[in-house]
A and B are shown apart, each in its own frame.
Chain A
Amino acid sequence: MKDEITREDRVANLKGMGCSRKRVEDARFTQGKGNYVDDIKLPGMLHGDFVRSPYAHARVKSINIDAAMALPGVVAVLTAKDLEPLNLHWMPTLAGDKQMVLADGKVLFQGQEVAFVVASDRYVAADAVELVEVEYEELEVIVDPFKSLQSDVVLREDLVAEDGSIPNGAHGPRKHHNHIFTWEAGDLEATEQVIDNAEVVATEEMYYHRTHPCPLETCGSVASMDKVNGKLTLWGTFQAPHVVRTVASLLSGIEEHNIRVVSPDIGGGFGNKVGVYPGYVCSIVASIVTGVPVKWVEDRMENLMSTAFARDYWMKGKISATKDGKITGLHCHVTADHGAFDACADPTKFPAGFMNICTGSYDIPVAYLGVDGVYTNKAPGGVSYRCSFRVTEAVYFIERMIEVLAIELNMDAAELRRINFIKKEQFPYTAALGWEYDSGDYHTAWDKALEAVDYKGLRAEQAQRVEDFKAGKTRKIMGVGLSFFTEIVGAGPVKNCDILGMGMFDSCEIRIHPTGSAVARLGTISQGQGHATTFAQILATEIGLSAESITIEEGDTDTAPYGLGTYGSRSTPVAGAAAAMAGRKIRAKAQMIAAYLLEVHDNDVEFDVDRFVVKGAPERFKTMKEIAYAAYNQAIPGLEPGLEAVSYYDPPNMTYPFGAYVCVMDIDVDTGVPEIRRFYALDDCGTRINPMVIEGQIHGGLTEALAVALGQEIAYDDMGNVKTGTLMDFFLPTAWEVPNYETDFTVTPSPHHPIGAKGVGESPHVGGVPCFSNAVQDAFRPFGNRHTNMPHDHWRIWQTANNLGMHD
């Protein structure tokens, strides 16, 4: 049989890895036919709404629900008392702590959930919230983690023994009643010795402010308890639906097979939707109590005030070097403000996430990291906002320390980076704080980036600008922001990564239909990343069926195989690997079928794009479509009918994407307004599955980085009032403030990943934040700036200029 189309066309028809396939998700979204949690409507459904604490720290003396219950349309008002008999007034957090579902005797942060009103519609529920009378007795508020560690005020009475002693926490000994854990990595003694004897030492303190992922869709859930069948169905904004099912089962006592958790379309996650929130629990309980479905969807203010802050790290660094700039040691201490409950979504053994990647992209012989977690009267959370666990903090820290060291050495910061990069031949490289970097070629990426932006030219221009400014010819100064980052993503190897004891593998199950189309289900869930498009591309290349014939399903725990979900850029590194491995199992069976059909030995056929061919006789072949049909319709000796495969992938290592970013910025010193003139981003995420989707991820991640660096924060006053609870005060950039980005890439595949992919969604955020911040700070460097804290909003930039005497 002769083939009618060329091999090239066959490859193109597959729409496999490497092509910019248009997204299959878009048809429904562009027509307003997405199905988000708030779009779910069930017969008889009720609506829940929270009574929240106006105080950051107070005793709850009484709650009177009579007036609320008397309002027509109100069905129930739940308080901690109602949840206590079910043992649901508290719940475990992902970090090994526990958290109040509804205020149990006291409140610990403003916006904390106090009572849950269930009513016929949203308006009635909101009216009833106003009618619930809560009597509070105010307590002293602590919003500063350093003061918290000195204070006599006990925030968490539940964590102090009756004799006043302080029992260990989930991560070992606690030093004070408001202390959560100490976590250390590296060699303290050796690091101190190196730094004490170093030729040059730079020290700096920096605050990585509290912020929030703030996806456009807030969090919500719909719970439906079917009392006839004993089945609970829970729809919600879950980045990890399977984990939610397991937690729901452990909490409620309902057996796991009787719980179905569904993540419908999710309107962005960025880490906000990893955790388990009181709203989810209350909607479940309310549905059990009322016997009808109950919906809970938070509003924007509730979202910013109560679900999942990010960052809030006070970091202190010391970096030592030789006179000519070779880094010899790094010391980092973090005071981590975790708020009222430790609800960080980190793998269990890493209470400070992967902060120990803070040696960055540099060959630093010895290092030490110590992190102290602290309770304060702020909202719980500590999620990874568009980054792998605490990696943004780590990369910000080292990229600022490098800049400060460059100032100390009076050296160019690009050159300082270059002479300290881990060299290509050093990979796999074991860093001083323990991680084994899989692959990298930093020098090539750096040179490419610097050349692309004409780095030398930029520095010359900047020097001229400084002169012009000093001569009074301009009021605009210029900054060149640099960052080189190494991410650590794809959590992760089950041997050291688990959440609540569940290993962080992921999964893919493929079913090929007789006519040669397929459905594949994975343990992850897209929140805009385009999994339905890109996972089909991986499978298309692996199994030789067009991506257009492969449906991807995620997010329904009744049908999808167990997996740990989508966050920390783990989908491609882990589930993407599972997809490739499952595809290879399909191919292995297909090979046997093909050999049988072609009447040759198994080893005499080989895979070629979309078919198996007889080696040396390419005109003799069976396409994957033919093979699929035969798998179901022909009795093949020694083979079961059907063509299905499942793979659970436990990654041998994390993956380490990296990148080189440059930002050119002009700053008006009189208004404090920064203007981004140019942003160049080179990313190396290993094998590239869909360049269009990759670029989209980079644009989005950079924009979230711009937000964080230049203005976005969750700020509190001394009374614990949230000062940034609406989008009026919480900065989300519009199209007007955002530049066009230039994207570029190198490709250094991961040696241990089946297709060499490393993950990309979070790199631009991780690399972007220090790049924007460094641009601001670099502009002021010639005028004496060493370090100023983010966010660099117009007011703070103006203040920096003012402090440096630039308005005199």
Chain B
Amino acid sequence: MSNKMHVKLNVNGQDHEFLAEPRELLIYALREKLNITGPHVGCETSHCGACTVTMNGKSVKSCTVFVAQANGAEVTTIEGLGTPDALHVLQESFKEHHGLQCGFCTPGMITRAAKLLEENPNPTEEEVRFGIAGNICRCTGYQNIVKSILSAASELNAAKEAAQ
């Protein structure tokens, strides 16, 4: 299987070029080739959302995107959302409201939540629940995840207002 193709990806603001088989999955390229291990593999069938990343401005499950499809794309993973010195509001609020336990779903969940709040900065609880329904968490029962996201939303909005 040596029909490898040349792939360009911009991940978290950094350009990468590498060779990949066309059948290779984006999650595999991220984790195994680029050592970006924040996104996880929970099912490989698009059900769990542990592998969620943002690709060209949309949430995608990177376990069901061929890296060939992602060629030339801009990808954001959990690693690109905040830095240890400047955490994303969601990273803070998940800790504050106990929105995680084992942490396995967390990178995908926060990455999805960040996109959701861009799409809908003022979601209702129902909209949050619907908006993260593609991300499964086995530990928390979601209650505190929803709380974390709603609280992050109001914080982001308050910051926006203050800036105006």
Contact status A268-B138, CB under 8 Å: yes
**What string of 1s and 0s marks CB contacts (under 8 Å) between A1-35 and chain B?**
00000000000000000000011011111111110
User: A267 within 8 Å of B by Cβ?
Assistant: yes
B38 CB, min distance to chain A CBs, angstroms: 2
Chain B residues positioned under 8 Å from A692 (CB to CB): 98
Contact status B1-A127, CB under 8 Å: yes
**What string of 1s and 0s marks CB contacts (under 8 Å) between B145-156 and chain A?**
110000000000
Residue of B nearest to A526 (CB): B102
Chain A residues positioned under 8 Å from B35 (CB to CB): 41
Contact status B129-A23, CB under 8 Å: no
Chain A residues positioned under 8 Å from B5 (CB to CB): none
A567 CB, min distance to chain B CBs, angstroms: 14
B95 CB, min distance to chain A CBs, angstroms: 4
User: B140 within 8 Å of A by Cβ?
Assistant: yes
Partner of A215 from the list B32, B87, B98, B138 (CB cut-off 8 Å) is B138
Interface residues of A in 681-708 (CB under 8 A from B): 692-693, 695-697, 699-704
Partner of A735 from the list B42, B50, B128 (CB cut-off 8 Å) is B128
Chain B residues positioned under 8 Å from A734 (CB to CB): 132-136, 142
With A32-B79, A735-B145 known as contacts, the answer to whether A693 contacts B137 (CB < 8 A) is no
With A32-B78, A123-B24, A216-B104 known as contacts, the answer to whether A699 contacts B143 (CB < 8 A) is yes
Chain B binder among A154-162, A275-283, A511-519, A527-535 = A527-535
Q: In the complex, A215→B32 CA distance in Å?
A: 22
Chain B residues positioned under 8 Å from A22 (CB to CB): 95-96, 98
B46 CB, min distance to chain A CBs, angstroms: 9
Contact status B139-A268, CB under 8 Å: yes
User: A299 within 8 Å of B by Cβ?
Assistant: yes
With A31-B91, A738-B142 known as contacts, the answer to whether A268 contacts B47 (CB < 8 A) is no
**What string of 1s and 0s marks CB contacts (under 8 Å) between A720-738 and chain B?**
0000001110001011101
Partner of A30 from the list B91, B128, B143 (CB cut-off 8 Å) is B91
With A31-B84, A33-B38, A217-B40 known as contacts, the answer to whether A265 contacts B141 (CB < 8 A) is no
Listed residue (B37, B42, B105, B134) with the most chain A CB atoms within 10 angstroms of its CB? B42
Partner of A741 from the list B37, B84, B143 (CB cut-off 8 Å) is B143
With A38-B41, A123-B1, A726-B45 known as contacts, the answer to whether A265 contacts B103 (CB < 8 A) is yes
User: B19 within 8 Å of A by Cβ?
Assistant: no
Residue of B nearest to A25 (CB): B103
Partner of B95 from the list A26, A32, A528 (CB cut-off 8 Å) is A26
**Total chain B interface residues with beta-carbon distance under 8 A:** 60
Contact status B101-A215, CB under 8 Å: no
Partner of B45 from the list A121, A266, A693, A728 (CB cut-off 8 Å) is A728
Chain A residues positioned under 8 Å from B146 (CB to CB): 735
**What string of 1s and 0s marks CB contacts (under 8 Å) between B85-105 and chain A?**
001001100111010111111
Q: In the complex, A696→B139 CA distance in Å?
A: 8
Contact status A30-B106, CB under 8 Å: yes
Listed residue (B47, B106, B134, B139) with the most chain A CB atoms within 10 angstroms of its CB? B139
Q: In the complex, A347→B133 CA distance in Å?
A: 39
Partner of B44 from the list A38, A300, A704 (CB cut-off 8 Å) is A300
**What string of 1s and 0s marks CB contacts (under 8 Å) between B14-30 and chain A?**
00000001011000100
Contact status B103-A528, CB under 8 Å: yes
Contact status A30-B94, CB under 8 Å: yes
User: B48 within 8 Å of A by Cβ?
Assistant: yes
Partner of B82 from the list A31, A703, A738 (CB cut-off 8 Å) is A31
Chain A residues positioned under 8 Å from B47 (CB to CB): 726-728, 732
Contact status A700-B139, CB under 8 Å: yes
**What string of 1s and 0s marks CB contacts (under 8 Å) between B43-58 and chain A?**
1110110100000000
User: A195 within 8 Å of B by Cβ?
Assistant: no
User: B144 within 8 Å of A by Cβ?
Assistant: yes
Contact status A121-B32, CB under 8 Å: yes
Residue of A nearest to B128 (CB): A735
Contact status B104-A123, CB under 8 Å: no
Chain B residues positioned under 8 Å from A41 (CB to CB): 35
Q: In the complex, A728→B46 CA distance in Å?
A: 9
Contact status B141-A39, CB under 8 Å: no
User: B77 within 8 Å of A by Cβ?
Assistant: yes
Chain B residues positioned under 8 Å from A127 (CB to CB): 1
Q: In the complex, A616→B78 CA distance in Å?
A: 56
Q: In the complex, A735→B150 CA distance in Å?
A: 14
Interface residues of A in 520-549 (CB under 8 A from B): 527-530
User: A214 within 8 Å of B by Cβ?
Assistant: yes
Partner of B143 from the list A23, A217, A704, A740 (CB cut-off 8 Å) is A740
Chain B residues positioned under 8 Å from A699 (CB to CB): 140-144
Q: In the complex, A702→B87 CA distance in Å?
A: 31
With A700-B140, A727-B43 known as contacts, the answer to whether A30 contacts B95 (CB < 8 A) is yes
With A32-B79, A700-B140, A735-B132 known as contacts, the answer to whether A727 contacts B48 (CB < 8 A) is yes
Q: In the complex, A30→B149 CA distance in Å?
A: 13
A352 CB, min distance to chain B CBs, angstroms: 26
User: A122 within 8 Å of B by Cβ?
Assistant: yes
Chain B residues positioned under 8 Å from A123 (CB to CB): 1, 21, 23-24
With A27-B95, A123-B1, A216-B137 known as contacts, the answer to whether A267 contacts B23 (CB < 8 A) is no
Partner of A38 from the list B36, B40, B91, B132 (CB cut-off 8 Å) is B40
User: A612 within 8 Å of B by Cβ?
Assistant: no
Q: In the complex, A738→B145 CA distance in Å?
A: 12
Q: In the complex, A348→B7 CA distance in Å?
A: 55
Can you report 24 residue pairs joining A to B where beta carbons are below 8 Å apart? A22-B95, A23-B98, A27-B84, A27-B95, A29-B103, A30-B87, A32-B79, A215-B102, A216-B105, A216-B136, A217-B42, A268-B139, A300-B43, A528-B139, A692-B98, A701-B141, A702-B141, A732-B47, A734-B134, A734-B142, A735-B128, A735-B130, A736-B129, A738-B141
Q: Lowest 10 A-B CB distances belong to which pairs?
A: A32-B38, A29-B103, A528-B102, A267-B104, A699-B141, A528-B101, A703-B141, A727-B47, A32-B78, A26-B95
Q: Which residues of A contact B (CB under 8 A)?
A: 22-23, 25-34, 36, 38-39, 41, 121-123, 127, 214-218, 265-268, 270, 299-300, 527-530, 692-693, 695-697, 699-704, 726-728, 732, 734-736, 738, 740-741
